[in-house]
Amino acid sequence: MRISSAKTLKVIKMIEEYELLDPQVHKNIAIVPIKTPINHNIDILTLKKGFELELATVKECEQSTVNTIIVENQSIVPLLLVDGEEIVGGDQNRIMDATVLIGPQSASKIPVNCTEHGRWSYKSEFKQSEHIANYSTRLAKHRAFRNKGSVQQAVWDSIDELEMSRSFSSPTQAMSESYENAKADMNEFLDAFDIVQGQTGIVVMIDGEVKGFEIFLNSEIYREYHEKIIKSYLINADVNDNVFTVNIDSIKSIIDDALSDESEEVKNIGLESRFELKSKDGIGSIYTYKDELIHMSYLGESADLSAENENPIVDDVII
């Protein structure tokens, strides 16, 4: 992996030492747990823990805008917000536009995307959702960012397509409602896919194709996102009883190719450093802090999602 800063060599080495554990297969879906070297050097608070301990507060800006919120971290350690992570409430539900580390005892304006197109009225204080953006929405979001298109419009269009694909319509076009509608269908897969000791990441396969993979700083943080990540792929999947063989060597080749891609450092929002992978086969992002990996995501391109977003850039919408 050719990243523009020499300080990331330690991060590269850590990722390249990953281990693929025994696959878990249910119907035409398979997951392969990823294990990376143990990392206890960084103390980070997740948004879930921040809400539980009342050390994280999320609110609308003084002049409410669709694509910006304010997050306050009252703890003495950095607060982690993960790309695609959803919060519900406020004037409308949102997802994080990127992975961000907010410094201790500080507040930041955070870029977000709306996931509830049909509501702009106060509902309740923000709280963490049980979901992250579904696979196709994350892919559409990142593709629009790369192509300098309208990220928000790409998110809205993808959520519309999700509802149509599931023959479901929510009153406010809320992504979270699509998840709730699909909950019963997904439970059997969540029961089949267990977290294993030391797991820090996951590869998701559908019909024998690697759809994407995700790696976190450590197993404690990964545990909080395990079910959310699996659901984000399941909700877009055409589930059937087809069987396939999980080829570990092929999976390793895909991950190794992603790690060998060139990457570009882009402007960070908080304490993190952000690198975007340049790949013809998928879209990937790496986030680091203190020369350590905190989050990596890679989404494989799908033929049915290959159209490029040509929309012009849309600035923050002020309501």
Strands 45-46 and 79-81: parallel
Predicted TM-score (pTM) of the model is 0.91
pLDDT of amino acid 313: 38
- Report the sign of the C-alpha dihedral through residues 257, 158, 185, 81, in that order: positive
List average pLDDT for each run of 10 residues in the chain, which is 319 residues long: 53 78 96 87 93 97 94 98 98 97 97 96 94 97 92 97 95 96 94 95 96 95 97 96 92 89 87 88 91 92 47 44
For the chain, the domains span 6-42+133-302
Burial of 157 (0-12, 13-18, 19+ CB in 10 A): middle
pLDDT of amino acid 319: 45
SS3 for 20-56, per residue? Answer: ECCCEEECCEEEEEEECCCCCCCCCEEHHHHHHCCCE
C-alpha span between 213 and 33 (Å, rounded): 9
pLDDT of amino acid 64: 84
CB 135 within 8 A of CB 155: no
- For 115-164, strand residue ranges (E) read 127-132
CB 71 within 8 A of CB 57: yes
pLDDT of amino acid 14: 66
pLDDT of amino acid 130: 95
C-alpha span between 32 and 158 (Å, rounded): 27
Q: How far is CA 142 from CA 23, 49, 152, 305, 317, in A?
A: 28, 27, 11, 12, 19
C-alpha span between 231 and 107 (Å, rounded): 30
Q: Which two tokens stand for residue 34?
A: 């990823």
Give the residue from 55, 32, 54, 47 showing the smallest Cα distance to 88: 47
Query: 41 — phi, psi (to 5°)?
Result: -85, -15
